[in-house]
């Protein structure tokens, strides 16, 4: 399976969201990565349902939604109704993670779990068979444009080993500080999906950057 690129819309120009969505539609991006932040689980607020509705209206690719919110169960139905394809919740925000994952799947979405940089991948060993995607945070969640945490490579390898051992086919997504400098090493360690925000949207030729990052990840 080819390695996937999921540009993070958090780094888009919010005054020109339709333009940026159309750029992603034209580009080699595989998914739209959407960050929802509540100002409680993380010290930042991104955007909510009305903005997400408009993004989805203009997006013609898989909608990969990363919830950085407390008590995500409250909104599972809402995100399903809006048209999200993948719904990722934080391990650290879920008291009953297994129940939350079943809830997401019951609403017709793929279920993802994100881990903060300090959270050990071993904690997923009893639930990995219920997870479609693990999002390893390679920065502390809450903001775009931060530096990649080098310890991520060993976490990817450990997680890949767990997934292979259990034979679950769970995808590994890396989120935070992804660039051409770390993409190849992340893929070599076992990553399947690379999220890139600033690296794509702050570049002078965004479509070309997506194309080159995708080629690099699959070389």
Q: Which two tokens stand for residue 59?
A: 């997006």
Residues within window 47-76 making contact with ligand 5SP, judged by CB under 6 A: 66
Strands, E, within 8-61: which ranges? 31-37
Query: Is 20 part of the annotated catalytic residue set?
Result: no
The 19-38 site mask, x for binding ligand 5SP (CB under 6 A), equals: --------------x-x---
Closest CB to ligand 5SP among residues 66, 214: 66
Contacts 24+ apart (CB under 8 A), 71-76: 72/100, 73/99, 73/100, 73/103, 76/100, 76/103, 76/104, 76/107, 76/109
Query: Is 175 part of the annotated catalytic residue set?
Result: yes
Residue 87 near ligand 5SP by CB under 6 A: no
**Contact in structure between 37 and 68 (CB atoms under 8 Å):** yes
Residue 160 near ligand 5SP by CB under 6 A: no
Annotated binding residue at 35? yes
What are the binding residues for substrate? 8, 66, 142-145, 175-177, 197-198
What are the binding residues? 8, 33, 35, 66, 142-145, 175-177, 197-198
């Amino acid at each position: 399976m080819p390695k996937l690129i999921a540009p993070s819309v958090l780094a888009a120009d919010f005054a020109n969201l339709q333009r940026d969505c159309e750029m992603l539609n034209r580009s080699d991006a595989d998914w739209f990565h959407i960050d929802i932040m509540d100002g409680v689980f993380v010290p930042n607020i991104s955007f909510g349902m009305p903005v997400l509705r408009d993004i989805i209206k203009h997006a013609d690719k898989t909608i990969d939604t990363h919830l950085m919110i407390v008590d995500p169960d409250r909104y599972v139905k809402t995100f399903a109704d809006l048209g999200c394809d993948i719904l990722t919740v934080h391990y650290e925000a879920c008291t009953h993670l297994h129940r939350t994952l079943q809830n997401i799947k019951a609403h017709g979405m793929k279920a993802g779990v994100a881990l903060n940089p300090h959270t050990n991948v071993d904690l997923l060993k009893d639930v990995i068979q219920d997870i479609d995607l693990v999002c390893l945070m390679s920065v502390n969640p809450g903001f775009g444009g931060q530096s990649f945490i080098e310890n991520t490579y060993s976490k990817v390898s450990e997680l890949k080993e767990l997934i292979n051992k259990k034979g679950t086919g769970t995808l590994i997504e890396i989120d935070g500080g992804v660039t051409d400098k770390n993409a190849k090493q992340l893929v070599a360690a076992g990553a399947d999906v690379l999220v890139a925000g600033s690296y794509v949207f702050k570049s002078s030729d965004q479509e070309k950057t997506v194309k080159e990052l995708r080629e690099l990840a699959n070389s």
